[in-house]
Amino acid sequence: MLRMSMSRVWPVFIAGVLLQASAQVPAPPAASTQAAAANPTSDRLVDELVENAARDHATLPSLTAHESIVSKVDEVVVFGKNTAKAEATVRIVRKSPEGPWTENREITVLNGKPVTPNTRTFLPFNLTEGFNDTQSLFFSVQNRPCYNFALAARAGQDAPLELTITPFSEVATRTQCIVHSGVARIDPETHHLTHLEFTNPAGTNSSQFFGTIDYAATRVGDKIFWLPSLITARVVIGKTPYEWSARYSDYHQYAVTLTILPADSNTQ
């Protein structure tokens, strides 16, 4: 789940973001199945995305990546600036195989100036927890009944597959459902997500949210995962718009090295 916060006010608003990671990218389908793979039904395509999401949740390791951020608010901020640019190291750690990811961001450069480690920094608008198990917002067994998935006609042979996602009218009465709409674009060969747009419909609460996430096939160790390359968000709270853009690169598997010394070791 993705969280937002502002430097002047600190209420937390929750919105769904989908993380699409994968184990090894599958080989292209055999010739006899290429036509079916290139022209799936919406039900079958959603089946695959749900299956991918469940498998990916079990296989994505702890990661670290470089993050380039632009954060802004469209009004004068009393304590700071209304636009900030930052470079950061983000760590996405799983403490147990079935548990969620814990996200930690360490800003290393802010508005062109190096930041001393462990220094508290402020951005006009913060977006966190984008790497948690949020693909289940649309593509999970429990949440799939919340939405209608319509497969659009393809613009051409090389064009991505595209699903338009709308909540069913009775979604508001189902406790597990979040009233969001979206658009998902899917690679026609691998059937992995390449782009997602999601928004909360007007009038659902006091804030209006629109976000996008782009994915790219990324090698981590000896495996390929489909990981975020760009996350953007725009939220309007009252009449004030806040914006966020973050690009991700240099993914590596994250591990902690622990050295155990003998009980009689002398340390200075």
Count other C-beta atoms under 10 Å from residue 107's C-beta.
Answer: 20
The more confident residue out of 240 and 183 is: 183
pLDDT of residue 74: 80
- Secondary structure E strands in the chain: 2-6, 13-15, 63-73, 83-94, 101-110, 113-114, 125-128, 147-151, 161-167, 181-186, 193-199, 207-220, 223-237, 240-253
pTM comes to 0.79
Q: How crowded is the C-beta side of 265, counted as CA atoms within 13 Å?
A: 7
Residues 153-158: contacts with CB within 8 Å, 24+ apart? 154/188, 157/38, 158/188
Q: What integer is the mean pLDDT of 247-255?
A: 90
CB 39 within 8 A of CB 45: no
Q: Which residue has the tokens 């969001």?
A: 180
Q: What is the pLDDT of residues 115-133, one digit of tens each?
A: 999 898 989 888 876 666 6
Q: 179-194 pLDDT, tens per residue?
A: 889 999 999 988 988 9
Is residue 205 pLDDT above 70, yes or no?
no
Task: Judge contact between 110 and 131, C-beta under 8 A.
Answer: no
Q: What is the pLDDT of residue 17?
A: 38
Interatomic CA distance for residues 159 and 196, integer angstroms: 15
Q: Shortest CA distance to 187 belongs to which of 177, 179, 195, 197?
A: 195
Going by their DSSP bridges, the two strands 13-15 and 63-73 should be labelled as unpaired
Structure tokens given for 183: 């658009």
Band of pLDDT at residue 173, cut at 50, 70 and 90:
confident
- Residue pair 74/40 in contact (Cβ under 8 Å)? The answer is no
Q: Distance between alpha carbon 8 and the CA centroid of its chain, in Å? A: 25
